[in-house]
Amino acid sequence: MELFQLLLSGLASGCVYGLIALGFVLIYKATEAINFAQGDMMMFGAFITIWLTNSGYNNLPFLFSVPLMILIMGAFGFLIERIFLRQVIGQSQIAIAILTIALGFVLRFIAGAIWGHEPHFLESPMVGKNIYLNGAVLGLAEIFVIIVTVLLTVLLYFFFAKTKLGIAMVAASQNQLAAFYVGIPVKRVQSLTWVIAGILAGIAGMLFSAKGSVDPITGLLGIKAFAAAVIGGFGSLPGALIGGLIIGLIEPFSGRYLPSGFSHLVPYIVLVLVLILRPHGLFSQISHKKV
C-alpha cells in the first residue's frame, strides 16, 4: 500500500512537471525560443490563484477564481510575447534565452514584493481531505491534480489534432515558411502559443499550490521540468508529459529507497543517461527533408 501512495504522489508531482514541460515545448516548437521563465510563470499562476481564493486576500469561491486565474494568465502570456519577445525576433537564441531568464528573475522579485517570501498555501476545497482505500491514505488534492491533467491533455490533444486553428499551430511549428505561404498568420499563431503557455503555467501553478506550499522561488523547479522536456525529446508534446511523469515518479521512490540526499540527484542522472543513450530524447520526432 505504501507503494501505491508513493506512486500517487509521484504521478501528481509528475503532472505538474509535465504541464510546465509542455509549456517549454509548445513555445520552443512555435517560436524556436526556450522560455526559461516558464517555471516562474507557474509560480506566478500559483500566487494569483492563492491571491484570488484565500480568505486573507480576495476570498472568491474556488470554482470562480480558477477561470479568472486562467484569463489573467492567458493575458499575461499574451503581453509577455507582445512586449518583450516580439522585440527580439530575429536575434540569436542566446539573446532570447537570456531575456527569458531575466524575465524569470523579475517575476520572482515581483511576486516577493507583492506577496512576501514566506510560504503560502492555497485554501482549496481539497485541503487536508483524504480518501481511505484498503489501508492506503490518498490525498484528494493529488487525485485532483491527476484528473485535471488528464482532462487538460485530452483537451489539448483534440485542439492540436482536430481543430483548424490547432492544426495550423502545429503546421506553423513544423515549417514556418510554408505556413506563411498558405496564409496562416504566423505572428498571431505565436501570440496564441504564448497565451496557451501562460494558461498551462497557470493551471500547473494552481495544481501545485493545491498540494503544497508556494513561495517566490518555487519557480526554480522549472529546471526539473526542463529536464523532463529534454528526456521526452524537446519538441514532442506527449514526450514532455511522459518526461514529467518519469521525473515525478523517480523522486518519491528514490527518496524512499535510496540513502538520503540522493533523491534530488536521480532525476538528473536519468537526464544524463537519456542524453547519452538516446540524444534526441525518448519521443523525438525527427524529420528528414527530401530533396
Partner 1 sequence: MISKEVILRVENIESYYGPIMALKGVSLQVQKGSIVSVLGANGAGKTTLMKNISGVMDPEKGRIFLENESVEGTEADILVRKGVAHVPEGREVFPMLTVEQNLLMGAYTRSDKKEIRYDMELFCSYFPILKTRFEQMALTLSGGEQQMLAIARGLMSKPKILLLDEPSLGLSPKLVKEIFGILNRLNKDQGVTILLVEQNAKAALDIADFGYVMELGRIVLDGKSSELSEAKDIQEFYLGANQESQLGQKRWKNRKTWR
The least CB distance from residue 186 to partner 1, in Å, is: 8
The least CB distance from residue 235 to partner 1, in Å, is: 10
Torsion of CA 55, 61, 64, 70, to 10 degrees: 40
How many Å apart are CA 37 and CA 224, to the nearest integer?
13
| DSSP symbols for 227-249 | HHHHHH-TT-HHHHHHHHHHHHH
Contact 40, 216 (CB under 8 A): no
Task: Kindly tell me which of 255 and 280 has the beta carbon lying closer to partner 1.
Answer: 280
The least CB distance from residue 161 to partner 1, in Å, is: 9
CB-based burial label for 237 (10 Å; 0-12, 13-18, 19+): buried
- Phi and psi for 130 in degrees, rounded to 5? -125, 155
The least CB distance from residue 12 to partner 1, in Å, is: 31
How many Å apart are CA 52 and CA 47, to the nearest integer?
8
Whole-number Cα distances in Å, 194 to 72, 120, 188, 198, 273:
13, 27, 10, 6, 31
The least CB distance from residue 182 to partner 1, in Å, is: 5
Task: Kindly tell me which of 188 and 278 has the beta carbon lying closer to partner 1.
Answer: 188
Task: Kindly tell me which of 164 and 277 has the beta carbon lying closer to partner 1.
Answer: 164
Task: Kindly tell me which of 140 and 167 has the beta carbon lying closer to partner 1.
Answer: 167
Task: Kindly tell me which of 141 and 237 has the beta carbon lying closer to partner 1.
Answer: 237
The least CB distance from residue 267 to partner 1, in Å, is: 29
Contact positions toward partner 1, by CB under 8 A?
Answer: 164, 167-168, 170-171, 174-175, 177-186, 285, 287-291
> Which residues have a Cβ under 8 Å from the Cβ of 205 and sit 6 or more positions away?
41, 42, 43, 44, 45, 46, 47, 48, 49, 73, 214
The least CB distance from residue 54 to partner 1, in Å, is: 44
Indicate the SS3 state at residue 124.
coil
CB-based burial label for 30 (10 Å; 0-12, 13-18, 19+): buried
Task: Kindly tell me which of 145 and 186 has the beta carbon lying closer to partner 1.
Answer: 186
How many Å apart are CA 149 and CA 26, to the nearest integer?
16
Task: Kindly tell me which of 153 and 284 has the beta carbon lying closer to partner 1.
Answer: 284
